[in-house]
Structure 1
Amino acid sequence: MSNIYTRRQFLKKGLKSLFTTVLASSLGYFYARYVEPKWLQITKHTITHPLIPKSFDNIKIVQFSDTHIGHSFDIDHFRVVASKLNELEPDIVFFTGDLIDNPSIFPSPDELIPILYNIKAPLGKFSIYGNHDHGGYGSDIYRDVMINSNFTTLLNESIEIKKEKGKIIVVGLDDIMLGRPDFTGAFEKITGDHYTIALVHEPDVAPRVASFGAHLQLSGHTHGGQIQFPFLGPIITPPLGKDYPEGKFTIGATNTLLYVNRGLGTTRLPFRFLSRPEISVYTLKSI
Protein backbone atom coordinates (compact mmCIF):
# COMPACT_ATOMS: atom_id res chain seq x y z
CA MET A 1 0.00 0.00 0.00
CA SER A 2 2.86 2.37 0.77
CA ASN A 3 4.21 2.04 -2.79
CA ILE A 4 0.80 2.84 -4.28
CA TYR A 5 0.43 5.82 -1.97
CA THR A 6 3.90 7.08 -2.82
CA ARG A 7 3.30 6.73 -6.55
CA ARG A 8 -0.03 8.52 -6.27
CA GLN A 9 1.56 11.24 -4.16
CA PHE A 10 4.37 11.61 -6.70
CA LEU A 11 1.92 11.94 -9.57
CA LYS A 12 -0.15 14.51 -7.70
CA LYS A 13 2.95 16.52 -6.84
CA GLY A 14 4.17 16.33 -10.43
CA LEU A 15 0.84 17.44 -11.82
CA LYS A 16 0.70 20.27 -9.30
CA SER A 17 4.19 21.44 -10.32
CA LEU A 18 3.26 21.21 -13.99
CA PHE A 19 0.05 23.15 -13.44
CA THR A 20 1.93 25.83 -11.44
CA THR A 21 4.56 26.17 -14.19
CA VAL A 22 1.95 26.44 -16.93
CA LEU A 23 -0.06 28.94 -14.91
CA ALA A 24 3.01 31.04 -14.08
CA SER A 25 4.09 30.98 -17.72
CA SER A 26 0.63 31.98 -18.90
CA LEU A 27 0.33 34.76 -16.34
CA GLY A 28 3.87 35.93 -17.08
CA TYR A 29 3.15 36.03 -20.80
CA PHE A 30 -0.12 37.92 -20.25
CA TYR A 31 1.56 40.42 -17.92
CA ALA A 32 4.56 41.05 -20.18
CA ARG A 33 2.46 41.24 -23.33
CA TYR A 34 -0.67 43.12 -22.23
CA VAL A 35 -0.14 44.72 -18.81
CA GLU A 36 3.31 46.21 -18.40
CA PRO A 37 3.61 47.67 -21.95
CA LYS A 38 0.72 50.02 -21.06
CA TRP A 39 1.60 50.52 -17.37
CA LEU A 40 3.04 53.99 -17.76
CA GLN A 41 5.49 55.32 -15.19
CA ILE A 42 6.13 59.04 -14.68
CA THR A 43 9.63 59.57 -13.29
CA LYS A 44 10.48 62.93 -11.76
CA HIS A 45 13.92 64.49 -11.47
CA THR A 46 15.26 67.78 -10.14
CA ILE A 47 18.14 69.34 -12.06
CA THR A 48 20.26 71.90 -10.22
CA HIS A 49 23.17 73.84 -11.68
CA PRO A 50 24.68 77.30 -11.16
CA LEU A 51 24.29 78.10 -14.88
CA ILE A 52 20.52 77.58 -14.84
CA PRO A 53 19.15 81.16 -14.97
CA LYS A 54 16.87 82.49 -12.28
CA SER A 55 14.16 82.91 -14.91
CA PHE A 56 14.28 79.13 -15.53
CA ASP A 57 13.81 78.21 -11.89
CA ASN A 58 11.01 75.60 -11.67
CA ILE A 59 10.74 75.31 -15.44
CA LYS A 60 9.41 71.84 -16.25
CA ILE A 61 10.85 69.76 -19.09
CA VAL A 62 9.03 66.61 -20.20
CA GLN A 63 10.80 63.96 -22.27
CA PHE A 64 9.15 61.12 -24.17
CA SER A 65 10.85 58.71 -26.50
CA ASP A 66 10.72 55.54 -28.59
CA THR A 67 7.02 55.23 -29.28
CA HIS A 68 7.66 52.83 -32.18
CA ILE A 69 4.13 53.39 -33.45
CA GLY A 70 2.93 50.58 -35.66
CA HIS A 71 4.65 47.70 -33.88
CA SER A 72 2.42 47.08 -30.88
CA PHE A 73 1.83 50.74 -30.02
CA ASP A 74 -1.19 51.99 -31.95
CA ILE A 75 -2.51 55.47 -32.68
CA ASP A 76 -5.28 55.25 -30.08
CA HIS A 77 -2.75 54.51 -27.38
CA PHE A 78 -0.62 57.39 -28.62
CA ARG A 79 -3.59 59.73 -28.10
CA VAL A 80 -3.80 58.56 -24.48
CA VAL A 81 -0.09 59.20 -23.95
CA ALA A 82 -0.28 62.65 -25.56
CA SER A 83 -3.13 63.52 -23.22
CA LYS A 84 -0.98 62.43 -20.28
CA LEU A 85 1.85 64.65 -21.53
CA ASN A 86 -0.47 67.65 -21.49
CA GLU A 87 -1.70 66.79 -18.00
CA LEU A 88 1.90 67.22 -16.82
CA GLU A 89 1.78 70.85 -18.02
CA PRO A 90 5.31 71.00 -19.46
CA ASP A 91 7.06 74.25 -20.30
CA ILE A 92 9.36 72.42 -22.73
CA VAL A 93 8.88 69.06 -24.48
CA PHE A 94 11.68 66.89 -25.86
CA PHE A 95 11.13 63.86 -28.09
CA THR A 96 14.31 61.79 -28.35
CA GLY A 97 13.59 59.68 -31.42
CA ASP A 98 12.01 56.55 -32.90
CA LEU A 99 8.49 57.77 -33.59
CA ILE A 100 7.37 55.05 -36.05
CA ASP A 101 8.76 51.53 -35.87
CA ASN A 102 8.95 51.06 -39.65
CA PRO A 103 8.13 54.27 -41.57
CA SER A 104 8.23 52.64 -45.00
CA ILE A 105 5.25 50.38 -44.27
CA PHE A 106 3.31 52.52 -41.78
CA PRO A 107 0.08 53.39 -43.63
CA SER A 108 -0.96 56.67 -42.05
CA PRO A 109 1.82 58.93 -40.70
CA ASP A 110 -0.35 62.01 -41.27
CA GLU A 111 -2.72 60.77 -38.55
CA LEU A 112 0.05 61.43 -36.03
CA ILE A 113 0.26 65.13 -36.86
CA PRO A 114 -2.82 66.40 -34.97
CA ILE A 115 -1.87 64.32 -31.93
CA LEU A 116 1.66 65.71 -31.83
CA TYR A 117 0.48 69.21 -32.73
CA ASN A 118 -1.88 69.29 -29.74
CA ILE A 119 0.93 68.63 -27.27
CA LYS A 120 1.36 71.97 -25.50
CA ALA A 121 4.65 73.51 -24.36
CA PRO A 122 4.87 77.32 -24.21
CA LEU A 123 8.69 77.42 -24.46
CA GLY A 124 8.86 74.99 -27.35
CA LYS A 125 8.75 71.38 -28.56
CA PHE A 126 11.99 69.85 -29.85
CA SER A 127 12.88 66.53 -31.42
CA ILE A 128 15.79 64.55 -32.83
CA TYR A 129 16.15 61.57 -35.14
CA GLY A 130 16.39 58.02 -33.84
CA ASN A 131 17.66 55.07 -35.85
CA HIS A 132 14.13 53.93 -36.74
CA ASP A 133 13.27 57.42 -38.00
CA HIS A 134 16.00 57.04 -40.62
CA GLY A 135 15.37 53.33 -41.19
CA GLY A 136 13.08 52.13 -43.95
CA TYR A 137 13.70 55.34 -45.92
CA GLY A 138 11.81 57.18 -43.22
CA SER A 139 13.93 60.34 -42.87
CA ASP A 140 11.64 62.56 -44.94
CA ILE A 141 8.48 61.06 -43.43
CA TYR A 142 9.68 61.82 -39.91
CA ARG A 143 10.86 65.32 -40.84
CA ASP A 144 7.53 66.22 -42.43
CA VAL A 145 5.47 64.85 -39.54
CA MET A 146 7.46 66.76 -36.95
CA ILE A 147 7.50 70.03 -38.91
CA ASN A 148 3.74 69.91 -39.38
CA SER A 149 3.31 69.08 -35.69
CA ASN A 150 5.09 72.28 -34.66
CA PHE A 151 8.18 70.44 -33.36
CA THR A 152 11.63 71.85 -34.06
CA THR A 153 13.82 68.97 -35.19
CA LEU A 154 17.46 69.62 -34.35
CA LEU A 155 19.90 68.09 -36.83
CA ASN A 156 23.48 68.65 -35.68
CA GLU A 157 22.62 72.12 -34.46
CA SER A 158 21.84 74.12 -31.37
CA ILE A 159 19.07 76.51 -30.43
CA GLU A 160 18.54 79.02 -27.65
CA ILE A 161 15.48 78.89 -25.41
CA LYS A 162 14.93 82.30 -23.84
CA LYS A 163 12.82 83.37 -20.89
CA GLU A 164 12.94 86.94 -19.67
CA LYS A 165 16.67 87.82 -19.46
CA GLY A 166 17.87 84.24 -19.21
CA LYS A 167 18.49 81.46 -21.72
CA ILE A 168 19.55 77.84 -21.97
CA ILE A 169 20.98 76.03 -25.00
CA VAL A 170 19.65 72.83 -26.55
CA VAL A 171 21.86 70.79 -28.88
CA GLY A 172 20.44 68.06 -31.09
CA LEU A 173 22.60 65.40 -32.74
CA ASP A 174 21.59 63.33 -35.73
CA ASP A 175 21.16 59.63 -35.00
CA ILE A 176 24.51 57.99 -34.31
CA MET A 177 23.76 54.64 -35.97
CA LEU A 178 21.99 55.52 -39.22
CA GLY A 179 22.31 59.28 -39.47
CA ARG A 180 25.23 61.60 -40.05
CA PRO A 181 26.12 62.92 -36.60
CA ASP A 182 28.39 65.95 -36.56
CA PHE A 183 29.57 66.64 -33.03
CA THR A 184 31.78 69.57 -34.00
CA GLY A 185 29.05 71.24 -36.04
CA ALA A 186 26.39 70.66 -33.41
CA PHE A 187 28.49 72.19 -30.62
CA GLU A 188 30.29 74.88 -32.58
CA LYS A 189 28.36 77.71 -30.89
CA ILE A 190 28.70 76.31 -27.37
CA THR A 191 30.94 78.49 -25.21
CA GLY A 192 30.25 77.03 -21.79
CA ASP A 193 28.64 80.23 -20.54
CA HIS A 194 25.07 78.90 -20.64
CA TYR A 195 23.41 75.76 -19.37
CA THR A 196 23.46 73.26 -22.24
CA ILE A 197 21.23 70.23 -22.79
CA ALA A 198 22.15 67.68 -25.47
CA LEU A 199 19.50 65.49 -27.10
CA VAL A 200 21.11 62.29 -28.38
CA HIS A 201 19.15 59.16 -29.23
CA GLU A 202 21.84 56.62 -28.34
CA PRO A 203 23.21 57.07 -24.80
CA ASP A 204 26.61 55.40 -25.08
CA VAL A 205 28.25 58.41 -26.75
CA ALA A 206 27.78 60.35 -23.48
CA PRO A 207 31.53 60.64 -22.71
CA ARG A 208 32.10 62.29 -26.08
CA VAL A 209 29.09 64.57 -25.63
CA ALA A 210 30.40 65.57 -22.20
CA SER A 211 33.75 66.50 -23.73
CA PHE A 212 31.97 69.07 -25.93
CA GLY A 213 30.56 70.90 -22.93
CA ALA A 214 27.03 69.54 -22.41
CA HIS A 215 25.77 69.73 -18.84
CA LEU A 216 22.87 67.32 -19.37
CA GLN A 217 22.29 64.62 -21.98
CA LEU A 218 18.84 63.15 -22.56
CA SER A 219 18.62 59.88 -24.48
CA GLY A 220 16.32 56.96 -25.22
CA HIS A 221 16.96 54.00 -27.57
CA THR A 222 17.46 51.23 -25.01
CA HIS A 223 13.84 50.66 -23.82
CA GLY A 224 15.57 49.66 -20.58
CA GLY A 225 16.22 46.38 -22.37
CA GLN A 226 12.41 45.79 -22.48
CA ILE A 227 12.92 42.58 -20.49
CA GLN A 228 14.85 42.56 -17.23
CA PHE A 229 15.47 39.91 -14.61
CA PRO A 230 15.88 40.65 -10.89
CA PHE A 231 19.53 41.19 -9.88
CA LEU A 232 20.63 40.80 -13.51
CA GLY A 233 19.07 43.86 -15.11
CA PRO A 234 18.50 44.09 -18.88
CA ILE A 235 19.26 40.87 -20.70
CA ILE A 236 19.59 42.35 -24.19
CA THR A 237 20.31 45.97 -25.05
CA PRO A 238 20.82 47.48 -28.52
CA PRO A 239 24.10 48.73 -29.96
CA LEU A 240 25.20 52.00 -28.36
CA GLY A 241 22.82 51.31 -25.49
CA LYS A 242 24.84 48.81 -23.48
CA ASP A 243 26.92 51.02 -21.18
CA TYR A 244 24.01 53.15 -19.98
CA PRO A 245 20.81 51.07 -20.26
CA GLU A 246 18.42 53.23 -18.21
CA GLY A 247 18.22 55.87 -15.54
CA LYS A 248 20.70 58.42 -14.22
CA PHE A 249 24.48 58.50 -14.69
CA THR A 250 27.25 61.00 -14.01
CA ILE A 251 29.76 61.17 -16.85
CA GLY A 252 33.46 61.97 -16.57
CA ALA A 253 35.36 64.72 -14.83
CA THR A 254 32.84 67.28 -16.09
CA ASN A 255 30.06 65.60 -14.05
CA THR A 256 27.74 65.76 -17.01
CA LEU A 257 24.38 64.22 -16.13
CA LEU A 258 22.91 61.57 -18.41
CA TYR A 259 19.30 60.39 -18.18
CA VAL A 260 18.26 57.42 -20.30
CA ASN A 261 14.50 57.19 -20.78
CA ARG A 262 13.00 53.68 -21.20
CA GLY A 263 10.68 54.85 -23.97
CA LEU A 264 7.00 54.15 -24.51
CA GLY A 265 6.76 51.45 -27.17
CA THR A 266 8.42 48.17 -28.00
CA THR A 267 10.26 46.80 -30.99
CA ARG A 268 11.07 43.31 -32.27
CA LEU A 269 9.16 41.66 -29.41
CA PRO A 270 5.95 43.20 -28.02
CA PHE A 271 6.95 42.53 -24.40
CA ARG A 272 8.06 44.48 -21.36
CA PHE A 273 9.06 42.89 -18.07
CA LEU A 274 10.41 44.95 -15.14
CA SER A 275 10.97 47.78 -17.61
CA ARG A 276 7.85 49.89 -17.64
CA PRO A 277 7.22 52.54 -20.32
CA GLU A 278 8.35 55.92 -19.11
CA ILE A 279 7.76 59.64 -19.38
CA SER A 280 10.47 61.70 -17.68
CA VAL A 281 9.87 65.04 -15.98
CA TYR A 282 12.80 67.32 -15.17
CA THR A 283 12.37 70.40 -13.00
CA LEU A 284 15.14 72.96 -13.36
CA LYS A 285 16.47 74.65 -10.24
CA SER A 286 18.70 77.70 -10.20
CA ILE A 287 21.28 77.82 -7.39
Structure 2
Amino acid sequence: MDNRVDRVPAPQLHLTAMQSGYASTTVTQSRVSIFAPSRRSQGVRTVHVANAWGDADVTGDLNQIHRSILDYLIGHAGWLRRRLRNGSLDVAFAPRELLRLLGHRHPGQSNVTWLETMFEDLRIARFRATVRGGAGGEINLTKNVGIVTEYADARTAAGEYLGYGVTISGPYMGYYEADLPCHTENLTAHISSIDSGAVQAIVHFLLSHSGGYTCAPGDLFAVLGIDGRGRRYRARRDLRAYAEHLADRFSVTVDLPAERIHYARRPEVWFGDRWE
Protein backbone atom coordinates (compact mmCIF):
# COMPACT_ATOMS: atom_id res chain seq x y z
CA MET A 1 0.00 0.00 0.00
CA ASP A 2 1.22 3.47 -0.76
CA ASN A 3 0.25 4.76 2.67
CA ARG A 4 2.82 2.49 4.30
CA VAL A 5 5.52 5.03 3.41
CA ASP A 6 4.13 7.22 6.20
CA ARG A 7 4.99 4.64 8.84
CA VAL A 8 6.88 5.98 11.85
CA PRO A 9 9.51 3.40 12.93
CA ALA A 10 8.53 1.89 16.26
CA PRO A 11 10.95 1.82 19.20
CA GLN A 12 12.12 -1.45 20.66
CA LEU A 13 9.55 -2.96 23.00
CA HIS A 14 10.84 -3.52 26.54
CA LEU A 15 8.79 -6.26 28.14
CA THR A 16 8.54 -7.61 31.67
CA ALA A 17 5.96 -9.46 33.82
CA MET A 18 4.84 -11.76 31.02
CA GLN A 19 1.80 -14.02 30.98
CA SER A 20 0.41 -16.54 28.54
CA GLY A 21 -2.70 -18.59 27.88
CA TYR A 22 -5.39 -16.03 27.02
CA ALA A 23 -8.53 -16.76 25.01
CA SER A 24 -7.76 -16.25 21.34
CA THR A 25 -11.00 -14.39 20.66
CA THR A 26 -14.40 -13.31 22.01
CA VAL A 27 -17.97 -14.09 21.01
CA THR A 28 -18.68 -10.73 19.35
CA GLN A 29 -15.39 -10.72 17.43
CA SER A 30 -16.57 -13.87 15.70
CA ARG A 31 -20.19 -12.81 15.13
CA VAL A 32 -19.70 -9.13 14.20
CA SER A 33 -16.38 -9.51 12.47
CA ILE A 34 -14.29 -6.55 11.32
CA PHE A 35 -12.29 -8.99 9.18
CA ALA A 36 -13.62 -9.64 5.69
CA PRO A 37 -14.74 -13.22 4.90
CA SER A 38 -11.86 -13.52 2.44
CA ARG A 39 -8.13 -14.28 2.36
CA ARG A 40 -7.39 -11.78 -0.41
CA SER A 41 -6.56 -8.10 -0.34
CA GLN A 42 -9.55 -6.00 -1.35
CA GLY A 43 -8.00 -2.57 -0.90
CA VAL A 44 -8.62 -0.03 1.84
CA ARG A 45 -12.33 0.60 2.25
CA THR A 46 -14.90 1.41 4.93
CA VAL A 47 -17.36 -1.35 5.82
CA HIS A 48 -20.31 -1.27 8.22
CA VAL A 49 -21.30 -4.58 9.84
CA ALA A 50 -24.54 -4.93 11.82
CA ASN A 51 -26.60 -7.86 13.07
CA ALA A 52 -28.38 -9.05 16.22
CA TRP A 53 -25.12 -9.31 18.18
CA GLY A 54 -23.72 -5.83 17.60
CA ASP A 55 -22.41 -3.47 14.96
CA ALA A 56 -19.03 -2.23 13.82
CA ASP A 57 -17.32 0.03 11.32
CA VAL A 58 -13.86 -0.68 9.96
CA THR A 59 -11.69 1.26 7.53
CA GLY A 60 -8.81 -0.80 6.25
CA ASP A 61 -7.90 -3.92 4.28
CA LEU A 62 -8.36 -6.69 6.83
CA ASN A 63 -9.14 -10.31 6.05
CA GLN A 64 -9.08 -13.75 7.65
CA ILE A 65 -5.27 -13.98 7.51
CA HIS A 66 -5.07 -10.88 9.72
CA ARG A 67 -7.62 -12.58 11.99
CA SER A 68 -5.47 -15.72 12.25
CA ILE A 69 -2.40 -13.64 13.10
CA LEU A 70 -4.22 -11.98 15.99
CA ASP A 71 -5.67 -15.28 17.20
CA TYR A 72 -2.13 -16.70 17.39
CA LEU A 73 -0.64 -13.58 19.00
CA ILE A 74 -3.26 -13.49 21.74
CA GLY A 75 -3.98 -17.17 22.31
CA HIS A 76 -0.99 -19.29 21.27
CA ALA A 77 0.60 -20.98 24.28
CA GLY A 78 4.25 -20.41 25.07
CA TRP A 79 4.65 -16.82 23.86
CA LEU A 80 5.34 -14.01 26.30
CA ARG A 81 2.66 -11.42 27.02
CA ARG A 82 2.17 -8.40 29.26
CA ARG A 83 -1.03 -6.43 29.82
CA LEU A 84 -0.31 -2.70 30.20
CA ARG A 85 -2.18 -0.18 32.34
CA ASN A 86 -3.69 1.46 29.25
CA GLY A 87 -5.28 -1.89 28.33
CA SER A 88 -2.95 -2.73 25.46
CA LEU A 89 -1.15 -6.08 25.20
CA ASP A 90 2.54 -6.63 24.47
CA VAL A 91 3.42 -9.95 22.83
CA ALA A 92 6.93 -11.35 22.27
CA PHE A 93 7.26 -14.26 19.85
CA ALA A 94 9.48 -15.92 17.24
CA PRO A 95 8.38 -14.59 13.82
CA ARG A 96 9.40 -17.72 11.94
CA GLU A 97 7.32 -19.84 14.31
CA LEU A 98 4.29 -17.64 13.61
CA LEU A 99 4.96 -17.94 9.89
CA ARG A 100 5.10 -21.73 10.11
CA LEU A 101 1.79 -21.71 12.00
CA LEU A 102 0.36 -19.65 9.15
CA GLY A 103 1.48 -22.26 6.61
CA HIS A 104 4.90 -21.01 5.49
CA ARG A 105 6.96 -24.21 5.47
CA HIS A 106 10.42 -22.67 5.12
CA PRO A 107 10.07 -19.04 6.20
CA GLY A 108 12.90 -16.70 5.29
CA GLN A 109 13.49 -12.96 5.51
CA SER A 110 11.08 -12.24 2.65
CA ASN A 111 8.33 -13.95 4.67
CA VAL A 112 9.20 -11.88 7.73
CA THR A 113 8.91 -8.76 5.57
CA TRP A 114 5.47 -9.97 4.42
CA LEU A 115 4.50 -10.46 8.08
CA GLU A 116 5.46 -6.86 8.79
CA THR A 117 3.15 -5.67 5.99
CA MET A 118 0.34 -7.53 7.74
CA PHE A 119 1.19 -5.78 11.02
CA GLU A 120 1.16 -2.49 9.13
CA ASP A 121 -2.33 -3.25 7.79
CA LEU A 122 -3.42 -3.78 11.41
CA ARG A 123 -1.71 -0.55 12.49
CA ILE A 124 -3.29 1.74 9.91
CA ALA A 125 -6.77 0.20 10.08
CA ARG A 126 -9.42 2.01 12.12
CA PHE A 127 -12.42 0.42 13.81
CA ARG A 128 -15.39 1.15 16.06
CA ALA A 129 -17.61 -1.51 17.57
CA THR A 130 -20.63 -2.03 19.81
CA VAL A 131 -20.87 -5.17 21.94
CA ARG A 132 -24.40 -6.22 22.92
CA GLY A 133 -25.20 -8.60 25.73
CA GLY A 134 -21.72 -8.58 27.24
CA ALA A 135 -20.74 -8.23 30.88
CA GLY A 136 -22.17 -4.74 31.08
CA GLY A 137 -25.02 -4.91 28.62
CA GLU A 138 -24.30 -2.80 25.56
CA ILE A 139 -20.69 -1.59 25.44
CA ASN A 140 -19.32 0.88 22.90
CA LEU A 141 -15.68 0.60 21.84
CA THR A 142 -15.86 4.12 20.51
CA LYS A 143 -12.22 5.01 19.94
CA ASN A 144 -11.56 5.04 16.22
CA VAL A 145 -8.05 3.60 16.44
CA GLY A 146 -5.83 0.88 15.03
CA ILE A 147 -5.52 -2.71 16.21
CA VAL A 148 -1.71 -2.83 16.39
CA THR A 149 0.08 0.25 17.70
CA GLU A 150 3.70 -0.81 17.18
CA TYR A 151 5.90 -3.72 16.16
CA ALA A 152 9.64 -4.11 16.67
CA ASP A 153 12.30 -6.23 18.37
CA ALA A 154 11.25 -7.18 21.91
CA ARG A 155 13.68 -6.96 24.84
CA THR A 156 13.49 -7.07 28.61
CA ALA A 157 14.17 -3.89 30.59
CA ALA A 158 17.73 -5.22 31.00
CA GLY A 159 18.17 -5.45 27.23
CA GLU A 160 17.81 -9.22 26.80
CA TYR A 161 16.48 -10.07 23.34
CA LEU A 162 13.12 -11.92 23.50
CA GLY A 163 12.25 -12.13 19.81
CA TYR A 164 9.84 -9.97 17.87
CA GLY A 165 7.32 -7.77 19.64
CA VAL A 166 3.86 -6.48 18.79
CA THR A 167 1.63 -4.20 20.85
CA ILE A 168 -2.12 -4.77 20.39
CA SER A 169 -4.11 -1.63 21.15
CA GLY A 170 -6.16 -1.08 24.31
CA PRO A 171 -9.42 -0.44 22.40
CA TYR A 172 -9.10 -3.74 20.53
CA MET A 173 -8.33 -5.54 23.78
CA GLY A 174 -11.46 -3.82 25.13
CA TYR A 175 -13.40 -6.68 23.55
CA TYR A 176 -12.09 -8.87 26.37
CA GLU A 177 -13.40 -6.48 29.02
CA ALA A 178 -16.84 -6.03 27.46
CA ASP A 179 -17.48 -9.41 25.89
CA LEU A 180 -17.40 -13.14 26.64
CA PRO A 181 -13.98 -14.69 25.89
CA CYS A 182 -14.18 -17.66 23.53
CA HIS A 183 -11.36 -20.20 23.84
CA THR A 184 -10.83 -21.57 20.34
CA GLU A 185 -7.03 -21.55 20.53
CA ASN A 186 -6.82 -25.36 20.42
CA LEU A 187 -8.45 -25.20 16.98
CA THR A 188 -6.66 -22.14 15.57
CA ALA A 189 -4.20 -24.22 13.53
CA HIS A 190 -7.06 -26.14 11.91
CA ILE A 191 -8.92 -22.89 11.14
CA SER A 192 -5.91 -21.06 9.70
CA SER A 193 -5.13 -24.04 7.43
CA ILE A 194 -8.44 -23.59 5.59
CA ASP A 195 -7.76 -21.98 2.22
CA SER A 196 -11.13 -20.22 2.06
CA GLY A 197 -11.81 -16.98 3.89
CA ALA A 198 -15.56 -17.56 3.73
CA VAL A 199 -15.28 -20.99 5.37
CA GLN A 200 -12.91 -19.60 8.01
CA ALA A 201 -15.40 -16.85 8.89
CA ILE A 202 -18.21 -19.41 9.05
CA VAL A 203 -16.22 -21.65 11.41
CA HIS A 204 -15.39 -18.71 13.70
CA PHE A 205 -19.08 -17.77 13.85
CA LEU A 206 -20.27 -21.29 14.61
CA LEU A 207 -17.64 -21.96 17.29
CA SER A 208 -18.84 -18.88 19.17
CA HIS A 209 -22.12 -20.63 20.06
CA SER A 210 -21.86 -22.58 23.31
CA GLY A 211 -24.95 -24.68 22.68
CA GLY A 212 -24.43 -25.46 19.03
CA TYR A 213 -26.13 -23.75 16.09
CA THR A 214 -28.33 -24.69 13.12
CA CYS A 215 -29.09 -22.40 10.19
CA ALA A 216 -29.57 -22.10 6.46
CA PRO A 217 -26.42 -21.23 4.45
CA GLY A 218 -28.06 -18.11 3.05
CA ASP A 219 -28.85 -16.78 6.52
CA LEU A 220 -25.26 -17.37 7.57
CA PHE A 221 -23.94 -15.60 4.47
CA ALA A 222 -26.11 -12.57 5.27
CA VAL A 223 -24.84 -12.35 8.85
CA LEU A 224 -21.19 -12.59 7.78
CA GLY A 225 -21.37 -10.20 4.83
CA ILE A 226 -20.82 -12.85 2.16
CA ASP A 227 -22.81 -10.97 -0.44
CA GLY A 228 -23.21 -11.00 -4.21
CA ARG A 229 -24.00 -13.96 -6.44
CA GLY A 230 -20.34 -14.74 -7.18
CA ARG A 231 -19.20 -14.71 -3.57
CA ARG A 232 -22.11 -16.84 -2.42
CA TYR A 233 -21.49 -19.31 -5.22
CA ARG A 234 -17.82 -19.62 -4.20
CA ALA A 235 -18.77 -19.94 -0.52
CA ARG A 236 -21.11 -22.82 -1.34
CA ARG A 237 -18.44 -24.44 -3.48
CA ASP A 238 -15.90 -24.14 -0.66
CA LEU A 239 -18.34 -25.48 1.93
CA ARG A 240 -18.89 -28.51 -0.29
CA ALA A 241 -15.15 -29.01 -0.75
CA TYR A 242 -14.43 -28.72 2.98
CA ALA A 243 -17.48 -30.68 4.19
CA GLU A 244 -15.49 -33.68 5.41
CA HIS A 245 -12.85 -31.47 7.08
CA LEU A 246 -15.57 -29.41 8.79
CA ALA A 247 -17.26 -32.53 10.13
CA ASP A 248 -14.03 -34.10 11.40
CA ARG A 249 -12.35 -31.04 12.89
CA PHE A 250 -15.23 -28.82 13.97
CA SER A 251 -18.36 -31.01 14.27
CA VAL A 252 -20.00 -28.97 11.51
CA THR A 253 -22.41 -30.84 9.23
CA VAL A 254 -22.97 -29.25 5.83
CA ASP A 255 -26.08 -30.38 3.94
CA LEU A 256 -26.44 -28.00 1.01
CA PRO A 257 -29.31 -29.89 -0.75
CA ALA A 258 -31.33 -29.52 2.45
CA GLU A 259 -30.13 -25.90 2.92
CA ARG A 260 -28.85 -26.77 6.40
CA ILE A 261 -25.67 -26.24 8.37
CA HIS A 262 -25.48 -27.72 11.87
CA TYR A 263 -22.79 -27.23 14.50
CA ALA A 264 -22.52 -29.42 17.60
CA ARG A 265 -20.30 -27.89 20.25
CA ARG A 266 -16.68 -29.06 20.28
CA PRO A 267 -15.13 -30.09 23.65
CA GLU A 268 -11.99 -28.06 22.83
CA VAL A 269 -14.00 -24.82 22.88
CA TRP A 270 -14.90 -23.18 26.17
CA PHE A 271 -16.07 -19.77 27.34
CA GLY A 272 -15.34 -17.31 30.12
CA ASP A 273 -12.31 -16.41 32.26
CA ARG A 274 -12.42 -12.67 31.72
CA TRP A 275 -9.26 -10.61 31.85
CA GLU A 276 -8.33 -9.31 35.27
TM-score (norm 1): 0.26
Higher RCO (CA-CA < 8 Å; seq separation 6+): 1
Is the strand fraction higher in 1 or 2? 2
Task: Name the larger-Rg structure.
Answer: 1
TM-score (norm 2): 0.27
